[in-house]
Structure formats: C-alpha cells, structure tokens
Structure 1
Amino acid sequence: MQQRVDHLRLLARYNAWMNERLYATAMKLSDEELAADRKAFFGSILATLNHIAVADSIWLSRFATHPDGLPALQPMLSYRIPGLDEGWPYADIRSLWQRRQELDAMIPAWTENLREESLDIPLSYTMRSGATCTYAFFPLVAHCFNHQTHHRGQVTTLLSQAGLDMGDTDLLVIAPVFDA
C-alpha cells in the first residue's frame, strides 16, 4: 500500500493545476499592478509568487540530495539559488511563469519516482543560517506542499482584492472520487 506516495502525487498534480490557474489569473493584471505594494507579508503579488518559487527551489535542491537519488531532481543540484540580500530573482511575471513551469514539470516527475520506504529515510540539510537539520523525508515533503498552499492562498486573496476571481481552489476538485 502506498498511501503517502499516492497522496504526494496528488499534491504534485494539485500544485501544477493551481499554479497554472493562479498565473493565468495574475497575468490579467499589469506589471505595475502585480508589483504594487498591497500590504501583504511579502508586499506584492509578484513578490509572493517569487517567494513560492524560490522556496520551492530551495526545498527541491535539498530533496535532490536524498539517498535514493531521485533523478528528476538532479537539475536542482546545479541550480543557483539567489541569496536573500539579492532581492527577488524574477522581475516580471513572464520570467517567473517560465521558472514556475519548469518546477511544476519537475515536481510530479519526482513524485513518480518516490517509494513509500523512501519517505522514512532521514534527510539532513544545512539552512542558510548554517544550522544543520535532520528529519524523516515525509514531513519535509509535506511541509513543502503545505508552504506552497499557504502562500497561494495569500495570492488568491490579493487577486480577489484586485477584482479577480480564481474560482474553486479546493484540492477535492481534482481528487479521485471514491466509488463504493
């Protein structure tokens, strides 16, 4: 039984589905509207979307060092993640969307290679502060997906405040229906 792996694969599909819809909605706004300070945690819609992409890149780079190898994440080992003092790496929604599509192609491919037993293997990584952390792999992966969902929720609120409706954002929209 692969309940955790199957759930992570569902979350990967949900992530790509939501991002496609989120970016399509966000791209209805002008560059100025996307960069406007909306008094959100990261200020603007563009900054919040940058944060999600950068955080995903950090997590996927860490996941690429998993002892199981996880070949779909190997490109992350050579990806340069910008420093916190460098500002956001994507100055416009179009370049950010290009990076988002790359990540959203990589994430489902990576989850297809996951094995249930891989989720219990500890993964150690070094934070930007220099501290080393070690966790079982599953809580780290769950955190990565939860982080995406949390910040996408902020963006959907900002889009709503800008007069744009995302429509239904529930995971259950794409979840398989149980037929008794």
Structure 2
Amino acid sequence: MLTHFRMFADYNRWANARLYDACALLSEEEFRADKGAFFGSAQRSLNHLLAADRIWLKRFTGTGEAPTALDAVLHESFCDLRTAREAEDQRIIDWVDSLTEADLSAIISYSTLTMPGKIEQPLGPILAHLFNHQTHHRGQVHTILTSLGQPSVVLDLIYFLRGEGTRWQ
C-alpha cells in the first residue's frame, strides 16, 4: 500500500499542475465566476482543496497552518494560490515518502470542523480519502473549465502512468 500511496501523491501533484495550467488560461473574471460547483468558482474550489489538504496534514503531522473553515479563501490571487498548491503537493509527497507500512495501520484521532467529537480511524483509509477528495473537486474544476469553453483536461491516472508516472508500473 505504501507504494500505492506514493504513486497517488505523485499523481496528485501531476494532476494539480495540469489543472492549474488550464486555469491559467482563464481571465480573472472567469476564474472567480460562480458556475454552480459546490464551492462555486474555480478560485474557491481550488482554495478549498488547499485548505482541506492543510487541515489533513496538520492532523497527520501536527505541523503547518490549518484553516478553521472548509471554504476559507487562503489566496485571492491565482499566482499565490498556485505557488501554495505546488508547495503543499511537495509537502504531501515528502510526508508520504516518510511513512512506513506500519504507519498506515496507526490510529489517527481527530475532530472535524463540521461535527463535534473525537474520531479515530487508521491512517491508510484516511489517506485514501485525501487523494479521492482531490480527484472529486478537480473534477468539479474541470467542469467549470469546460463550461467556460476551455478544452477538456486529461487528468486520468492511467494517462499519468503511461507518461510521467511510468516508474510506478
């Protein structure tokens, strides 16, 4: 499973870079336009992903800044948001690279922002959620892009594995 999660950390970085490349083509107005996604715009959706990753990594590592709201806008500007995303993706890769197989079975205790109380779960399934959550909201940003007339962005894992991710096969 450790190799699997390392592959997903690398894929996550790759997919985010491709999505940000596509968003870089949007005007400021398009980037901020509410297109009916869960967080409205590409800007707010990408901020949510960064916020959620920071929340999870704070829970996992005890380090880093974590917002107190899932809809926090951590960066107003696209350039600042992209820089922060790239740093967070590298932080995820570095942290996953530091894990052992035994770490994946460790019980993580945390409380959520939306439900009071303590939750305890093994790290492995929570880590799977982290990467699945990214995929879910990247799909929403993809829909925003196509609704704005942008070309479809190929984000499939299999496409990554056939190209930049061949080392994971």
Query: Would you call these one fold, judging by a TM-score over 0.5?
Result: yes
2:15 maps to which residue?
18
2:28 maps to which residue?
31
Tell me, yes or no, if structure 1 residue 133 matches structure 2 residue 119. Answer: yes
Looking at structure 1, the residues matched to 17 and 10 of structure 2 have their Cα atoms a distance apart, in angstroms, of: 11
1:88 to 37, 50, 73: 73
Looking at structure 2, the residues matched to 58 and 177 of structure 1 have their Cα atoms a distance apart, in angstroms, of: 30
Deviation digits for residues 105-136 of structure 1 (CA, Å, limit 9, x no counterpart): 11111111111111011010122244211001
Structure 1 unmatched runs, 5+:
66-76
Find the residue that maps to 1:174 and give its secondary structure.
helix
1:170 to 147, 156, 159: 156
Amino acid paired to 1:83: T
Find the residue that maps to 1:34 and give its secondary structure.
helix
Q: Structure 1 vs Structure 2: percent identity of aligned residues?
A: 37
- Structure 1 residue ranges (4+ consecutive) displaced by more than 3 angstroms after TM superposition: 176-179
The structure whose Rg is larger is 1
Tell me, yes or no, if structure 1 residue 5 matches structure 2 residue 2. Answer: yes
Amino acid paired to 2:8: L
1:60 to 57, 67, 73: 57
Per-residue deviation at 1:53? 0.5
2:95 maps to which residue?
110
1:45 maps to which residue?
42
1:144 to 130, 147, 153: 130
Conserved? CA contact 1:22–1:166, under 8 Å = no
TM-score by length of 2: 0.89
Output the aligned Cα RMSD: 2.0
Distance 1:86 1:44, change over 3 A: closer
Larger CA deviation: 128-137 vs 55-64: 128-137
Deviation digits for residues 47-91 of structure 1 (CA, Å, limit 9, x no counterpart): 0001110001101111104xxxxxxxxxxx242x33339841211
Distance 1:107 1:177, change over 3 A: closer
Deviation digits for residues 9-54 of structure 1 (CA, Å, limit 9, x no counterpart): 1100110001111001101111111111111111111000011100
Per-residue deviation at 1:169? 1.3
Looking at structure 1, the residues matched to 21 and 156 of structure 2 have their Cα atoms a distance apart, in angstroms, of: 17
Structure 2 unmatched runs, 5+:
none
Looking at structure 2, the residues matched to 168 and 116 of structure 1 have their Cα atoms a distance apart, in angstroms, of: 31
Tell me, yes or no, if structure 1 residue 156 matches structure 2 residue 142. Answer: yes
